[in-house]
Amino acid sequence: MLIASRNRLARLQYGPNGFRVLESGDHVLCAVTGAPIGLDELRYWSVARQEPYATAAISVQAALDTARRA
């Protein structure tokens, strides 16, 4: 039933070396921009905040913003 996961938001648990699918789907949404990220394209996330990011630059900016708030 791979077709059932098409165009469906996945729920993931992010770890230091990868992620685990908690609810099947084919994409997640960038925590900053809201842009869809295909699971096969997902490369950047925060383990501490459990958030995915669309690009490395967005990931770094999110980390800097969090550090400034602390």
Residues listed for the chain: 70
- Structure confidence by residue, pLDDT tens digits, 2-27: 555 689 999 999 999 999 999 999 99
DSSP summary character for residue 43: -
Query: What is the C-alpha separation between 42 and 20, in angstroms, rounded?
Result: 12
- Structure confidence by residue, pLDDT tens digits, 31-63: 999 999 999 999 999 999 999 999 999 999 999
pLDDT band at 1 (very low <50, low <70, confident <90, very high): very low
* Alpha helix stretches (DSSP H) within the chain: 56-69
